[in-house]
Amino acid sequence: MNSKLRIIYNGIVTDNPTFVLLLGMCPTLGTTSSAINGMSMGLATMGVLICSNMAISAIKNFVPAKVRIPAYIVVIATFVTMLQMLMQAYLPSLYETLGIFIPLIVVNCILLGRAEAFASKHSVLDSGLDGIGIGLGFTIALTLLGAIRELIGTGRIFDTIIFPETFGSLVFVLAPGAFIALGFMIAIFNYFKNR
């Protein structure tokens, strides 16, 4: 496989932040009560991840080692602030739904981890591809988890009725359902990954 495609593949499968690395559990459990919320949070995080990875890779030679972590956080916070302003202006209802989880992207360990482990050691292009791969892996995981919770909890996926709501199990829309669904999804993902 081409080395550029391998970087993206690793982010989706080998180093999937949700199912393999178990990073970013707060937004994973907190925003996936529906498929649209999970997908929106994943895409928001992916946008910040791509931009911050590329920016950090571009400035890595100019940042002294003693202040590299605070510098990375400032870069990430800048992109999160830009995302927050754009969402407030153009997607206010989605911004209200995701609430506190948007500003919390700054302290999401996926972003800082990728900045330290990958972007600070690779080229701008490779860092962007890593952001795409890890971001896609995170987005896919959150969308799947949200879709499963929404389907079992309300009988819908992306607000499309699949079966009557009376057959739904409300626990899957609530916090305990997030833990149950995520546990089964991690087990299934790792089963197929290790075969």
Q: What is the pLDDT of residue 167?
A: 82
Place of tokens 């790792």: 190
Higher pLDDT, 170 or 145: 145
What pLDDT, in 10s, does the model give residues 16-45?
Answer: 999 999 999 999 999 999 999 999 999 999
Whether pTM exceeds 0.85: yes
Distance CA 30, CA 83 (A): 19
Instruction: Enumerate residues 6+ apart whose C-beta is below 8 A from 82.
Output: none
Distance CA 83, CA 76 (A): 11
Average pLDDT over residues 150-175: 88
Q: What is the pLDDT of residue 16?
A: 93
Q: What is the residue type of 42?
A: G
Q: For residue 156, what is the enclosing H or E element?
A: strand 156-157
> Is the predicted pLDDT of residue 165 greater than 80, yes or no?
no
Q: What is the residue type of 118?
A: F
Domain residue extents for the chain: 3-190
